[in-house]
Chain A
């Protein structure tokens, strides 16, 4: 039985249908030939490349900066100060201000700041990665 047409039907009929992009068919055939993952997932995958690179670079930088921090701390005698404290805990009660002053003066603060800054970047990149990966994981098959 043919349904009678009303004004809403007429409105849709007059508006007509949009044409898909000219290369639509070609892209479908190309994707099926190589059986690529869905475009939505590919796009999401591309969005993860930058945070992934940032994460790796920050990780490498952390290794270098941590090594340099250790070298600088050793050069400044932080290890000697800490070793003294471990051997004689009374240093803290006998001359706390002197000990603290010596320790603070020996810490390579620029190196510490560099490591902290790198850790912040690492944390940010990690959040971007996990947030994007979780969004991509929700793509599932249609049936």
Chain B
């Protein structure tokens, strides 16, 4: 049995999931309370729109409700719910506009010289003090390719570790770290250019 973080209230996510499958509906409500804010923020980072994020997050929890009774309860809950969330968001984005295949998946083992050239200068202090920081970050994240946006959103909105992100995305942890660092370099360039 694997126990994860999120033990507020005394029960882990996996224990709550098992209790729900045994008929305790309050356990599902507790899971929603724990995940609704990070889930909403993850969907918001992916779509840039709070109404769409609301709909998607609602759909994720409805899918969780339907799928939990047949899900593998021996596996960690957190990566599993974000697999659902990521798939929902990508499906939604695909419906909104075509996505180049190279944006969805890719092998990051090869060096990308474009990513390594710039993006190392520190961000200006006035950016960090900006009252519009949330909007600036939203636009910078939306400018990222989908695979990088997913990693960044899972890291910052869902607060997943690299190992958990790797589980959610089906990637090795080192690949996730590489993608995250490249995404940060792109973000730094975007954020510096937004002033």
Does A associate with B in a complex?
yes
Using CB atoms and an 8 Å cutoff, list the residues of chain A in contact with chain B.
Answer: 6-8, 10-12, 14-21, 24-25, 27-29, 31-32, 35-36, 38-40, 43, 135, 138-143
Contact (A139, B91) CB under 8 Å given A10-B128, A24-B57: yes
One digit per residue, 1 when the CB lies within 8 angstroms of any chain A CB and 0 when it does not, for chain B 92-109 equals 100100000000000000
**Is the Cβ of A32 less than 8 Å from the Cβ of B38?**
no
- Counting chain B CB atoms within 10 Å of each CB, which of A15, A20, A31, A138 scores highest? A20
| Secondary structure type dominating chain B contacts | helix
In the bound complex, how far is the Cα of B54 from the Cα of A18, in angstroms?
Answer: 11
Having A20-B40, A40-B92, one finds 4 other A-B pairs with CB under 8 Å, namely A15-B134, A24-B54, A142-B63, A142-B85
* Separation of A51 and B56 alpha carbons in the complex (Å): 26
Partner of A143, one of B54, B84, B128, B137: B84
Report A-chain residues with C-beta under 8 Å of the C-beta of B41.
17-18
In chain B between 143 and 189, which residues have their CB closer than 8 angstroms to a CB of chain A? 156-157, 184, 187-188
- Tell me whether A8 and B188 are in contact (CB under 8 A): yes
Of B1-9, B10-18, B25-33, which binds chain A? Answer: B25-33
What range describes how many residues of B lie at the interface? 35 or more
- The answer on a CB contact under 8 Å between B36 and A142 is no
Whether the pair B128, A28 counts as a contact (CB closer than 8 A) is: no
Name the residue among A8, A24, A35 with the largest chain B CB count within 10 angstroms.
A8
Residues from chain B with Cβ under 8 Å of A20 in the complex: 36-37, 40, 54, 57
Best-surrounded residue of A7, A36, A135 (most CB of chain B within 10 A): A7
Cβ–Cβ contact A7 & B123, under 8 A: yes
**Of A8, A14, A16, A28, the contact of B62 (CB 8 Å cutoff):** A28
State whether A143 touches B40 (Cβ < 8 A). Answer: no
**Is the CB–CB distance between B66 and A35 below 8 Å?**
yes
A-B CB contact pairs (8 Å), 6 listed: A11-B133, A24-B58, A28-B61, A29-B29, A32-B61, A138-B91
Q: A140-B91, A141-B63 are in contact. Are A40 and B133 (CB under 8 A)?
A: no
Q: Which residue of B lies closest to A11 (CB)?
A: B128
Closest 8 pairs (CB-CB, A-B)? A142-B84, A20-B40, A7-B123, A38-B59, A142-B63, A32-B65, A12-B156, A142-B87
Which residues of chain B are near A28, meaning CB under 8 Å?
32, 36, 58, 61-62
Q: Return A27 CB to nearest CB of chain B, in Å.
A: 6
If A17-B41, A25-B36 touch, does A32 touch B55 (CB 8 Å cutoff)?
no
